[in-house]
Amino acid sequence: MDGNGRWADRHGKTRQFGHEQGSSNVYDIFLSCIELDINTVTFFAMSSENMNRSKEETEFISILLDDSIKKHLPDLLDNQVKFKVIGDISHLPKNIRDTIDYAESATSKFTKYKLNIAYNYGGQWDVVNSINILMRKKLAISYENLSKYLSTGSDFPDMIVRTGGYKRLSNFMLWQAAYSELIFLDVLWPEFCSDDVSNILNNYKSIKRKFGKVE
């Protein structure tokens, strides 16, 4: 979800306003995905590196996360969506961790749709975290075991879409991205809309995925 700051700048607004617009787009885009039968979506809200931004900015985004969960939880329950925050949230204030825990527990039994928010998330952190779990459990460090204990489990993305014009993963799902289709768009996140989702999906359907094999 890149481009909130530039979008705000172009509209003569503050970065905070840009993040508010970006945040209000998240659930709308998730609903567009559901309508198109995309059943698992992860939104990359904050990377581990983004956490080095000013306290004012990171705190503001953590409050947006809290507000957004509270606002959409009834709808997540109605739509039977499993909600999860992936990343290291141990530093967040207790009230926000409680909001997250409550939403995760209340939706934990659902299986049809999954909405993940990556917050203070890094692909490198995810791999190291999984290895630490394996070591604690005294399990072999195999592809299968390492995948199983990632924050996404063995649920790997078919497609990773980055808005905002840059062509890099910025530490997003490094292990899980091994065979994901990568899509980079110039559109800034607050302007990303349901038409963009359908265009991307139509394009994805025309791609022959070979997973390294020869036809």
Which of 13, 68, 87, 139 lies at the binding interface for ligand FPP (CB under 6 A)? Answer: 68
Tokens linked to 137 = 């459990």
Nearest C-alpha neighbor of 19 from the set 74, 53, 98? 53
Tokens linked to 195 = 């038409």
List strand residue ranges (DSSP E) for the chain, in order: 40-44, 81-86, 113-118, 159-162, 181-184
Q: Dihedral angle at the C-alpha atoms of 40, 84, 86, 147, nearest 10 degrees?
A: -60
Residues that contact ligand FPP, how many (by CB under 6 A): 21
Which of 6, 34, 102, 196 lies at the binding interface for ligand FPP (CB under 6 A)? Answer: 6
SS3 content of the chain, % helix, strand, coil (to 5): 50, 15, 35
CB of 144 to ligand FPP, least distance (A): 31
Q: Site residues for ligand FPP, window 137-176 (CB under 6 A)? A: 164
Tokens linked to 138 = 């005294």
Nearer to ligand FPP, 27 or 204 (CB): 27
Max CA distance (Å), the chain: 55
Residue tagged active-site, from 25, 37, 39, 50: 50
Q: Give dist(CA 172, CA 156) in Å, integer.
A: 12
Which of 41, 64, 81, 96 lies at the binding interface for ligand FPP (CB under 6 A)? Answer: 64
Nearer to ligand FPP, 39 or 68 (CB): 68
Nearest C-alpha neighbor of 48 from the set 121, 130, 124? 121
Which of 29, 33, 41, 65 lies at the binding interface for ligand FPP (CB under 6 A)? Answer: 65
> Is 4 an active-site residue?
no
Q: Is 122 in the site for ligand FPP (CB under 6 A)?
A: no
Q: Is 23 in the site for ligand FPP (CB under 6 A)?
A: yes
> Is 39 an active-site residue?
no
CB of 110 to ligand FPP, least distance (A): 19
DSSP secondary structure code for residue 161 in this structure: E
Which of 117, 161, 197, 200 lies at the binding interface for ligand FPP (CB under 6 A)? Answer: 117
Q: Is 22 in the site for ligand FPP (CB under 6 A)?
A: yes
Residue holding tokens 């207790």?
A: 94
27 neighbors 113 (Cβ within 8 angstroms): no
Nearer to ligand FPP, 157 or 164 (CB): 164
Return the active site residues: 2, 50
Residues that bind ligand FPP (CB under 6 A): 1-6, 18-19, 22-23, 26, 45-46, 50, 61, 64-65, 68, 117, 164, 189
